[in-house]
Amino acid sequence: MMLRISNLREYETAYRKSVEEPENFWSEIAASFTWKKSWNKVVTWNFESPEVKWFEGGQLNITENCLDRHLSTHGDKTAIIWEPNNPSEKGRTLTYRELHEQVCMFSNVLLKNGAKKGDRICIYMPMVPEATIAMLACARIGAIHSVVFAGFSAQSLSDRIQDSDCSMVVTSDGAYRGAKEIPIKEVVDEALRVCPTVQRVIMLERTGANVRIDAERDRLWKEEMGKVDARHEAETMEAEDMLFILYTSGSTGKPKGVVHTCGGYMVYTAYTFQNVFQHRPEDIYWCTADVGWITGHSYIVYGPLLSGATTLMFEGIPTWPDAGRFWQTVDKHQVSVFYTAPTAIRALEAAGLDYVRPYTLNSLRVLGSVGEPINEEAWHWYHEHIGKGNCPIVDTWWQTETGGILISPLAGITPLKPSYATLPLPGIQPLLVDANGKEITGNGVEGNLCIRYPWPSILRTTYGNHERCRTNYFATYPGLYFTGDGCKRDEQGYYRITGRVDDVMNVSGHRIGTAEVEDAINQHPDVVESAVVGYPHAIKGQGIYAYVICTKEHENVDMLREEIKAVVNRVIGPIAKPDKIQIVTGLPKTRSGKIMRRILRKVAEGDVNNLGDTTTLLDPAVVDAIRDGAISG
Ligand code: WTA
């Protein structure tokens, strides 16, 4: 095991060392992995270009560290427990040896189908072990995976495939999600009509749905696996070679492809997994995220497997067949570490304790929260009714761009404070700045959260557009990485993330850009212009409120609203559907034409009597009309 922190003093010592001697600190941690060749430089960086390199000159393959390395010591340990969507379907488990074999075989399948080191391969799959196998096989042959959440529409999928010129797609015929069956392959077929770079599709049969097979392009997972050898020597990768691309929403434009590289990402995800959750070899660890998001990448797949953990993959949803599914699954598999999102906690709290009572939950040792701020009420419910008052909650703050957890308690070590992510992990130097970029020092303060020194899994670029990476994260406050989050630091120096300060919404823990939703709404033929803001939502954290100007008056406004939702569903996917749509005749704009979102946010929040200064508006009367037509409740 690598440098393991086991009490508060050790945390303080580790933290101090990580700031005073970062290179020694990280090289000692990195030394506990299997490298094919050691690095010559621990870190080179500047936040102006930006350019960050960790462990330069080092060579490795992350899958040797996830798989091969464990075979001699615990090859027969369970690596993956798979719990299917339907509780009456039989699940599966894979030992490290079995997972290794499957990954080697699928690596050979990829190669046989023409994939090469450096190629981009899109993975669009449900939560089945094959999604993990496909990711690891890409990493093993040196191909760059780009996993797209299987809830995204054909258009979102094709945008992502085109942006990184993927040569292959790995998918399934269909997917089960609660009571629904989703036609995954159909979405892929539609997306690929406009993706000429894709030469090959490999399809897993999951639901047995009747799908169209393109004899030239498509191959079946099962048949291909039957044709290959079970041995594969992992490709040698440079530490700074790309490991994966993951698309995420920003303030402006289309989602951008965040790039992570092999060496630093490996070191950081394993280090944080082991320390934050205080991992023990006998743990049954369950992160309820989807592999389509960064949480799935770092804390279902890489962090746990690098650590030789048993990681549970769940195909279903928290509320089907009923709202007891999580708790039933915890008891069934004797889960000891459980990591989920506040939105799920709030939904299950709302369902009531009758869904919790039938289960003992006495295997639980650590609880985690991720993806959005956890409100105090949800925190206490989780702590009391799920953790029975004796499981620490690690409220982990981080982002797609950070690769791993940056601010979080260490389970059982850091004294907790509800709704606070508490303290930075070793290696992380946070600071708060005001609107002018001036550092806000001292405690009991609030500002914009930045980080001043790189950590091994900081994003390296946004795929195909480095300038966008620079302007998004490194230009707002020169010399600093800007997170886009607002943050409080309390009297004792604990951090509490208050939410995004840019035009990114966080809906049920999913990041969605207001601009993306506006672009989608504007595709409706009768829409002239739209403006989208987030508003507080009891379960989702934030809901989506859209103000829409139409070309003509509609008699049936409800039907129009449904049509607009359908367009968003088609363009982005169900997660981005507006909760409320207000048809307006004008938007509050300044004389220079800028929409005053502040006012729109206030109205959406229901705070209509407190709109602040509206004198700079081109047409202040617009505000009265918007206020009168506001959708409340
Ligand atoms: C928010 C998810 C408060 C935050 C890992 C961040 C959080 C965005 C927390 C990143 C938390 C994530 N407390 N807010 N514990 N965790 N966030 O890229 O606004 O999907 O910037 O990564 O989620 O979302 P992303």
Q: Indicate if ligand 1 lies below 6 Å from the C-beta of 420.
A: no
Question: Could you tell me if residue 216 is inside a domain?
Answer: yes
Question: Could you tell me if residue 489 is inside a domain?
Answer: no
Number of structural domains found in the chain: 2
Write the CA distances from 181 to 125, 206, 219, 222, 494, integer angstroms.
Answer: 13, 11, 22, 21, 44
Backbone angles phi and psi of 72, in degrees to 5: -75, -30
| DSSP-H helix ranges across 199-238 | 221-225
Question: Could you tell me if residue 154 is inside a domain?
Answer: yes
pLDDT digits (tens, 9 = 90+) for 365-387: 999 999 999 999 999 999 999 99
Cβ pair 509, 318 in contact under 8 A: no
Q: List the residue whose alpha carbon is closest to atom 8 of ligand 1.
A: 399
pLDDT of residue 473: 98
Q: Indicate if ligand 1 lies below 6 Å from the C-beta of 379.
A: no
Which residues, in sequence order, are CB contacts of 566 under 8 Å at separation 6+?
Answer: none
Q: List the residue whose alpha carbon is closest to atom 11 of ligand 1.
A: 397
Question: Coil, helix or strand for 142?
Answer: coil
Question: Could you tell me if residue 213 is inside a domain?
Answer: yes
Q: Indicate if ligand 1 lies below 6 Å from the C-beta of 278.
A: no
Q: Indicate if ligand 1 lies below 6 Å from the C-beta of 395.
A: yes
Gap between the Cα atoms of 120 and 107, Å rounded: 14
**Domain encompassing residue 209:** 64-235
Question: Could you tell me if residue 148 is inside a domain?
Answer: yes
Residue with tokens 């953790």: 387
Does the pTM surpass 0.95? The reply is yes
Q: Is 489 exposed, middle or buried (0-12, 13-18, 19+ CB in 10 A)?
A: buried
Question: Could you tell me if residue 533 is inside a domain?
Answer: yes
CA atoms within 13 A on the CB side of 64: 17
Which one of 235, 260, 275 terminates a domain? 235
Cβ pair 423, 407 in contact under 8 A: yes
Q: Ligand 1 centroid vs 432 CA: distance in angstroms?
A: 17
Q: What is the mean pLDDT of each run of 10 residues along the chain (633 residues)?
A: 86 98 98 98 98 98 98 98 98 98 98 98 98 99 98 97 98 98 98 98 98 98 98 98 97 92 98 98 98 98 98 98 98 98 98 98 98 96 98 98 98 98 98 96 98 98 98 97 98 97 94 96 97 96 97 92 97 97 94 90 90 83 91 79
Backbone angles phi and psi of 221, in degrees to 5: -50, -55
pLDDT of residue 1: 46
Question: Could you tell me if residue 230 is inside a domain?
Answer: yes
Cβ pair 525, 333 in contact under 8 A: no
The residue whose CB lies within 8 Å of the most ligand 1 atoms, and thus the one to mutate among 152, 497, 540, is: 497
Q: Ligand 1 centroid vs 261 CA: distance in angstroms?
A: 21
CATH at 88 = 3.40.50.12780
CATH at 603 = 3.30.300.30
Backbone angles phi and psi of 536, in degrees to 5: -65, 130
Q: Ligand 1 centroid vs 582 CA: distance in angstroms?
A: 28
Gap between the Cα atoms of 45 and 165, Å rounded: 28
Question: Could you tell me if residue 180 is inside a domain?
Answer: yes
Which one of 235, 270, 291 terminates a domain? 235
Q: Ligand 1 centroid vs 475 CA: distance in angstroms?
A: 21
Q: Indicate if ligand 1 lies below 6 Å from the C-beta of 248.
A: yes
Which one of 209, 235, 261 terminates a domain? 235
pLDDT digits (tens, 9 = 90+) for 223-267: 999 999 999 999 999 999 999 999 999 888 889 999 999 999 999
Q: Indicate if ligand 1 lies below 6 Å from the C-beta of 397.
A: yes
Q: Indicate if ligand 1 lies below 6 Å from the C-beta of 405.
A: no
